[in-house]
Structure 1
Amino acid sequence: MAIETVPLPLPPSADPSKFKDFGREVKGVNPATLTPEQFEEIKKLLYNHDALLFRNTDLIPEQQYALTKAFDPTSESYGHGNNKTGETKKSILHPDLKTIPRVPQVQLIGNGIVYNHEGLAEAKLKHPSHTTFHKTCVSEEDEAKGVTRFYRWHIDAALYDLSPPKVTTLYGINVPKGGRQTCRYDDGTGDELDVPLGTTAFVSGRTMFDILPKELKSLAVRSKVRYAPHPYVWMAPARAKSTGLGIETEGLEMSKDELPAWEESKVKVFPILWKNPVNGQLSFQVHPCGVSELLIEPLPAGASREGALFPDGAHLTDLGEVRDLLYKMQRPAIAPSLVYPHEWHEKDLVLFHNRGVLHSVVGAFKPDQVRAFHQCNLAASSDPVGPSPEDVTTWA
């Protein structure tokens, strides 16, 4: 049977014109037993559409790992390093992940207590909640009515030492049923989004770049971000914005002296824009919570300076200035009309291009609502590729 694709089911809130190329449901093929020819077709589909959905999939951890690894055959360890998040107690990731013992590249995530699961006698899972990460929280009364928030918009990446994974695979095993929730932005805009319980929300990095005005496109194509050493430990004492898109600047981050031992050579500096390996398009790929500095190249020779920001280049080290500028560039792309909130069903397998989208956990579960997912992504064999000289000339 030939591979078939249909568009993902968009919610009424989505602007269909912005999702023409984003996301496809794949039919007619078993992702656990792809032939080499089928995999090549799936690979092109993923890089062209950024997210693929397979329904009613039976997938054991070994198969999920093999599928994820096929996108980057020389990659080996989990995206944050096998078992490293569990050992780093101060990391904000520590409570959220449990490693499958026989396949340490696959993580068990979810909510509630899971028994006798893939070699784990008992696993206490905690669905990340904005109440433990944001500076402000929705009231208990509103939470009881189903009001919630985006937890943290991010890329799956260690952002220190290891290269960002190319692909993440998410597999729904136990999916609690429940009413819908209202995701509030609480940033003064009045924006809110109707979402299914426990959705994973996605936005396109390509769209994030495309909708920028000219002067911010020029800035993006000329800029790199420097991440803090051990960023998930560094940011742990700080608190996030109400949109989940970055950290409030209150001076709460750990000092470099307080961090675990780190090496300058392992600190990551990435271009703001990452180039798609199949179609060459540029995606705005920044994990705003972990950024500490912004490095801006001057305008290329012959470029118009009219309206240009930092035409002579700059090295921004003031954390508040860096965050404010990134927020100005990224916030438009998480508008309700540009968010795809996936409604999970049991045995859903979602593959997403981790170098082409940002995503966020959303919502909150009650302690007795048991949810179990398998997640796999692998630290890549190389860092992302940024804009070419031609790209800089075009957009700067």
Structure 2
Amino acid sequence: MAIEVAALPLPPSADPSKFADFGREVKGVNPGTLTQEQFKEIERLLYKHSALLFRDVDLTPEQQYALTKAFDPASESYGHGNNKTESTKKSILHPDLKTIPRVPQVQLIGNGMVYDHEGLAEAKLKHPSHTTFHKTRVSPEDEEKGYTRFYRWHIDAALYDLSPPKVTTLYGITVPKGPAQVVRYDDGTGDELSVPLGTTAFVSGKTMFEILPPELKSLAVRSKVKYAPHPYVWMAPARANSTGLGIETEGLELPPEELPPWEESRQKTFPVLWKNPVTGDSHFEVHPCGAAELLVDPLPEGAKREGALYPDGAHITDLGEVRALLYKMQRPAIAPSLVYPHDWHERDLVLFHNRGVLHTVVGAFKPDQVRAFHQCNLAASDDPAGPTPEDVKKWA
């Protein structure tokens, strides 16, 4: 049977014109037993469409690891380092992940108590909630009415020492059913978004760049982000804003001397825009919570200076300014009409181009709502490529 593709089912809130190329459901192939020829087609489809959905899949942890590794055969360890999140107790990722013992590159995530699962006698899983990470929260009364928030918009990446994974695979094993929830942005815009319970929400980094006005496109194409050392430990005492898109600047981040041992040479600095290896498109890919500094190149010779931001370049180290600039560039792309909230079913497998999208956990479960997913992403064998000189000339 030939590989077939169909558009993903978009919610009524989505603007179809912005999802023409985003996301496809793939039929007629078993992702756990792909031939080399089939994999090449899946790889092309993923980089073209950013997210692929396979329904009714039986997938072992070994098969999920092999599938994820096929996108980057030289990659080996889990995106944050095998077993690293469990050993780093201060990391904000620590409560969310449990490692599958025989395949340490695959993580068990979800909610509630899970027993006799792939070599784990028991695992207490905790669905991340905005109530423990945001500066403000939806009131318990409104939570009972079904209101919730995005948790944290991010890229799957250690952002220190290791290179960001190219692909993440998410496999739904136990998916509790329940009424839809309503995401409140709570940022003064009145924006709300109806989402399925426990959705994973995605936005396109390509769209995030394309909808920017010219002066912000120019800033993006000329900029690099320097991330804090051990960013998930650094940010742990701080609190996120109400959209989950970055952190409030209150001076709560851990000072350098209180972090685990670190070396400046292992800090990561990445371009704001990452180049798609198949389409050549530029994707705006910044993890706003971990960003510490912005480095802006000057305008290229002959570029129009009128209205340009930082025409002579800049090294921005003021955390509030860094965050404000990133928020200004990223917030438009998480508008309700640009978000794809996946409606999970048991045995759904979703592959997403981790260097082409941002995503977030959404919503909240009650303790007795058991959810179990397998997640795999692998620290890449190289860093993402940034804009070419031609790109800079075009957009700056």
TM-score range, shorter chain: over 0.9
- Structure 1 residue 369: deviation in Å? 0.4
RMSD value over aligned CA atoms? 0.2
**Count, aligned residues:** 396
Unaligned runs of 5+ in 1: none
SS at match of 1:101: coil
Paired letter, 1:353: H
Give, in whole Å, the separation in 1 of the partners of 2:271 and 2:76: 24
User: Aligned AA for 1:294?
Assistant: L
- For residues 389 and 180 of structure 1, the distance between their equivalents in structure 2, rounded to whole angstroms, comes to 46
What CA distance in whole angstroms lies between the structure 2 residues aligned with 1:184 and 1:175?
23
Q: CA deviation at 1:79?
A: 0.1
SS of alignment partner, residue 58 of structure 1: coil
Q: TM-score, normalised by structure 1?
A: 1.00
Matching of residues 219-234 of structure 1 within 5 Å: 219-234=219-234
Offset of residue 278 of structure 1: 0.4
Deviation at 1:290, TM superposition (A): 0.2
One-letter code aligned to 2:284: F
User: Which residue is 2:32 aligned to?
Assistant: 32
Shift of 1:306: 1.1
Structure 1 residues 1-396: aligned runs within 5 Å: 1-396=1-396
Amino acid of the residue matched to residue 196 of structure 2? P
Amino acid corresponding to residue 383 of structure 2 in structure 1 = D
1:109-154 deviation per Cα after TM superposition (whole angstroms, max 9, x unaligned): 0000000000000000000000000000000100001100000000
> How many Å apart are 1:217 and its aligned residue?
0.1
CA drift of 1:54 comes to 0.1
1:199-257: CA deviation from partner (whole Å, max 9, x where unpaired): 00000000000000000000000000000000000000000000000000000000001
Distance in 1 between residues matched to 2:228 and 2:107, nearest whole Å: 25
Structure 2 letter corresponding to 1:266: R
Q: CA deviation at 1:19?
A: 0.1
% identity of equivalent residues: 84
- Amino acid of the residue matched to residue 6 of structure 2? V
Q: Give a deviation string over 1:184-210, Cα, whole Å, max 9, x none.
A: 000000000000000000000000000
The one-letter code of the counterpart of 1:280 is G
Alignment deviations for residues 33-76 of structure 1 (CA, whole Å, 9 cap, x no partner): 10000000000000000000000000000000000000000100
State how far apart, in whole Å, the 2-side matches of 1:139 and 1:121 are: 36
> What code does the residue aligned with 1:235 have?
M
- What amino acid is aligned across from residue 364 of structure 1 in structure 2? A
Whole-Å separation in 1 of the counterparts to 2:324 and 2:304: 25
Structure 2 unaligned residues grouped into runs of 5+:
none
- Tell me the alpha carbon deviations over residues 257-287 of structure 1, each in whole angstroms, 9 at most, x when there is no partner: 1100001110000000000000110000000
Moved over 6 A (4+): none
Could you report, residue by residue, the CA deviation over 1:357-379 in whole angstroms, capped at 9, with x for unpaired residues?
00000000000000000000000
Q: Distance in 2 between matches of 1:293 and 1:48?
A: 31
User: Partner of 1:111: helix, strand, or coil?
Assistant: strand
1:181 Cα deviation from its structure 2 partner: 0.2
CA distance in 2, matches of 1:211, 1:331: 11
Q: Distance in 1 between matches of 2:172 and 2:184?
A: 25
Query: Take 1:380 and 1:322, find their aligned partners in 2: how far apart are those partners?
Result: 26
Secondary structure, aligned partner of 2:76: coil
Distance in 1 between residues matched to 2:104 and 2:84, nearest whole Å: 11
One-letter amino acid matched to 1:164? P
